[in-house]
Amino acid sequence: RRLQQLELGPLGVVAVSAEGPTWPRNQGLGRLNEAQFEKMLKDKGGTEFILQDPGMKKMFVPVITADCKLEENYKFDPSLGPLKCPVLVFYGTKEGHDKMKTKISAESLDSWLQISACRSRSKVQALDCDWYIFQEAKAVED
């Protein structure tokens, strides 16, 4: 929004495996201490390769924690009006490889298109992969 105020863009917004900005957010993960957060990651599954390697754990757990806090604290403000650029959203249609079989629903993505003034140039694109689309490069190549 700040870039739009300065007439500097953005030229477009790309979202990957993310519910739309008006979708209800999970609460509480950002308030967990380090041990509780790592236990939650272990229980959910899919991050074992990070948690088992001290170097990867030191590098990525703070990033994942910050990502959760950012998602939980984000508040969409419709009074600011729509974005003046197209929005392109990618999501996978298969269940995730985590223990919870995470899946992003098509309904949770609908609001992405509503926040753009360029709806005819915006798109929600389903891919034949799980929610973490970059784990399956073939789905992105097609």
Q: So what's the pLDDT on residue 131?
A: 61
The answer to whether the beta carbons of residues 47 and 41 sit under 8 Å apart is yes
Backbone angles phi and psi of 10, in degrees to 5: -75, 165
Tens digit of each residue's pLDDT (9 = 90 or more) over 53-102: 999 999 999 998 888 888 888 888 888 888 889 999 988 887 766 655 56
Q: So what's the pLDDT on residue 135?
A: 54
pTM, 2 dp: 0.70
The answer to whether the beta carbons of residues 114 and 44 sit under 8 Å apart is no
Q: So what's the pLDDT on residue 118?
A: 92
Most confident of 55-59, 104-108, 110-114, 124-128: 55-59
Q: How far apart are CA 89 and CA 20, in angstroms?
A: 9
**Sign of torsion over alpha carbons 135, 59, 64, 42:** positive
Q: So what's the pLDDT on residue 139?
A: 46
Tens digit of each residue's pLDDT (9 = 90 or more) over 11-56: 899 988 788 888 777 667 778 888 998 888 888 877 888 899 999 9
Whether the predicted pLDDT of 140 surpasses 70? no
Mean pLDDT over residues 122-130, rounded?
A: 84
Mean pLDDT over residues 112-130, rounded?
A: 87
